[in-house]
Structure 1
Amino acid sequence: MVKKIISTIFCIFLFLTLMTQAALGANNVSDINVDVVIYDDGSAYITQTWNCNFNEGTEGYIPIENLDGMSLSEFLVSDESGVYTYIEDWDVKASFDEKAGKYGMVKTNKGYELCWGISEYGEKRYAIEYKINNLVGGYEYFDGFNFQFINSGMGTLPTDVTVKITMHNGIKLDENNGGIWAFGFDGEINFENGNVVAYTKNPLSSGTDSVIIMLQLNKGLMNPTRVVNKSFESVKAEALKGSDYNYGTDTNDSSSQPPEEPAGPFEWILAFFMTVFPLAVFIYFILRKGKPKREIQSLYKNAEYFREAPIAGNLEATFVLARDFRQINNEGDLIGSAFLKMINTGCLEPMTEKSVGFFGKEKESISLKLLQPPQFTGVTAKMLYDLLVLASGSDQILQERELEDYCSKNHKEIMKIIEAAKQDGQNTLEKIDCYDTQKKDKFSGLSQRGKTLLLNIMGFKKYLLDFSLIGERTIAESIIWQDYLTFATLLGIADKAIEQFEKVYPDATQHSKNAHYYYLVSHRYTKATYQAARSSGSGGRSSFGGGGGFSGGGTR
């Protein structure tokens, strides 16, 4: 029995040691720059430049699949030493030496794998060039594509990605002649100096991360060969499904739940001590990209209930600090909280209007009457109110559709409010000494006061989510249904908070009736502003979700 236990322990030790060595020697791609040049016929010449450190394996590869109506040509690979030699029948099982300095293409049942020999271990730069024929399709009313430039099927995901799209004929792209959206990663996409530029802000880390870009072009900029017998709106509708371009305030933030703590049987204590070092190293290399999330989860777990609006009720400062530490998933929730606060403070008055449509069917609409500008501090509400004045016209009564049309045409104005709120919140946090300026790391960069404020936000969020368990009845209903719900909206948990409030206060009161109605109004009008602006194609933050129906580039 003892020999069996010792043998098992030894096997575990050997297995973990080998895995640790694999982790230490794993391949790494620090960044990929993708340059896309679009030609008049809709084809595109694509150059991917890889900066990487390969220490194992024999080849690098890029899957290019789902080329519906497209084709691939002019494939070329080179490194610092020059152009590689093309091999007609690429053998993925060939040796390292047989692949060195060579490249080739493997035909799959869904497309291609572009392959090349690693050639030598260590730091290298590869240039992978190819042409996608018929990338841009000619749709009804618009031309465009929805293409996956970096996909989850790659063996090694890059840390940073930049995609630059340029028109070969010299036409400058901007929001007047094009629309842009990005999916699958945390980053930005913008019009910059006549080009489209998308880039990651955080590493691609999970098996589902990718870089998908949708580009819409006005007719007349080019003459695409591939003609598609449907509207580009149908392509856009499919891509926006599941994305945060389609605004929603009810989010399920996994960081709100503390991580599960693994436990092992007593009889393996000896094995644990014998394997602790390689196991620790292995976990470090495999899970290091999840460190920020684990640290946030640990902070949340230890946060004590906080019963007041965070940071003395400052929406902007709370928004910035909560966003930096993943307590907010959707920037549109800031707009929703500002709407709700303006309604609660008498700046806006909801008005229900009924009308009779076709076939005698009664329709109900909610308008907003603009009464007075906000008197409370905060740049978000003041800028939003000014925008509503412009959208409403001379009667100062704003219809939902009226606001949606205005924001679709003036999408930059909504994004300016978000950016102004970020700057205002950042300035406030700096003034109240939230940061330790000597440290650059986000977590250690908080001062003691900053850590306290962050714990207050987490504690307040936890307090709202556990409200019924606490059975809190010492807070005035007006505060619960107004101030608490405003910040619950900001934190993206309004629906869950309302459920909790109703369990403690099951009897309908004027406060609860108003709160339900006002929250409905703020939600609808947030969709009319933020979603209209986000979906307009003017650029800005990318969406992790969505991007479905892409017409090529990677696995589905």
Structure 2
Amino acid sequence: MKAKKYGIIFSFLVFIILSISSVKAYAAEDAIPSIQIKVTLNKDGSAIITEVWEVQGVSSGTEYYKALNNMEGRKVHSFSVRESGKLYTALDKWNKKLSREEKKGTSGILTKSDGYELCWGIGDYGDHTYTLQYTIDNLVQNYGEYAGFYHQFISKLSSAPKAIAISIQMEDEAFDQQNARIWGYGFDGKVAIHSDGSLTVNSNKALDRKDYVNVLCRFDQSLFPNAAVAKISFEELQNSANDKGINPLIVILIVIGFIGGGIGLIGFFYSRYKLSDNTVVHLPSYKKININYSIPFGGNIPAIYAALKLLRQGISYSQLMGVYLILLQEANYISIDKRTKKSKMEESILFKTEHITATNLEQLLFDLLMEEADHDNILWSSDIIKNATKISQKLKQWEKKVNNEGIKELSRLGMVEEKNGTIRFTRQGFDKAIMILGLKKYLSELTHQSEHVNKELWGDYLVIATMFNMGEKVLKAFEVIDKSYYNGFVNHYGCNTYSMIYFMSMTSHISNSTVMNADGTGGSTFSSGGGGFSGGGGGGSR
């Protein structure tokens, strides 16, 4: 009976996929050779966007359009179109039913329930170069720790562009690695923090019809003092961008949800955990997680790491590496700093080989990285990037050892049990694991919890915060809470007040250099990205 049931579901999925793939789209032009986009950001978070569309061989249709969906909390206005120096007439209301001749030389905004469509008349058939300009209010928003945006600049068009180029800038400020980060998703290309103070996005090759161009940017909050306040944190925004795929089980649940009207089943099952005694528990929502000040599992990093993986809240191996780099720096086994290489300053790790009494996992990471160091025992960030593939493979093996050690510790503490090859939390273990999320919540709101901060736990807090990509934020909170104590605290790491923040930044840069543009300072784009972006929805001729 079960096999028959699953067979029906599978057949239904296949039917949907085949139905979607059988729908053909016919372009009304021969090609879109290029789309160039210039984004000028203002301190209030608004953006003036100028796009130049080069199209060839338009042979049918009456208008072009660009959809901007998912625009909650944002407003689009001041839309204009120019061609050959001539400004199109802006209409108060756009009517898609008008003829090509009636639409010629005109433009307008079509407001929809899920966003906007920027529309303009095709004009005469043939080749065109259209210059669009429009303003998006609240593109950049205040996400608490940082300002930023996640926007789809290019989505599925009538013809996929052969080349795209995007420049993001401010009139009175220059972007650099100290105040900005950029990531790209959905296409083969590169992003960069340019020497002229702009952020750039460029394709490496012609886009396919399935490609899209999503851009995630992060900025120092001080650059956008008047930006609207977002409903989520930047970490949550970035997590949604990095969510590259969906579990096949979730796909089946979505279909079941649509059939039975039970979309809520998706979240229900994903947050569901079976314990070692076969009872079922659910992960509480963020709002219902109690703030926790203590360090779970005695501060054992492998145990905390393994528990997060069992909660399906796992962190990347590069974040784990960052945690251990801080521990090695604190123990004075390494020194992370900027040093001179070929007349230029570069981030690096100096390995100190004398009198090492590190833990096994610390020693393994130390040896792994030192293998890539030069004859002076220095590992340069440029060499990490150059050998990222080889180093990342070694780090993945090291990460497995960390997880295995963590499972052993959790088992010793009675927090997990193994049955038939499956590791499950005990009730006590699940409750303790939730405390990790409570600590994460506490650290994310640290400046509002200053009266509860136990200064003796600052070192542990810094390590856990680094695990969640909040190290710099927590350090800044420490300084605000107690400046005098903070000065002594950073000396423990061989730093002063200024260099400690810089050390944390370098630690993040170096650990993230092992993966493709993970730190947002430039490099290759990711082939796919998750939801949560503004913009998108298609466009082109019709």
For the pair shown, the structure with the greater C-alpha radius of gyration is 1
TM-score with structure 1 setting the length: 0.48
TM-score with structure 2 setting the length: 0.49
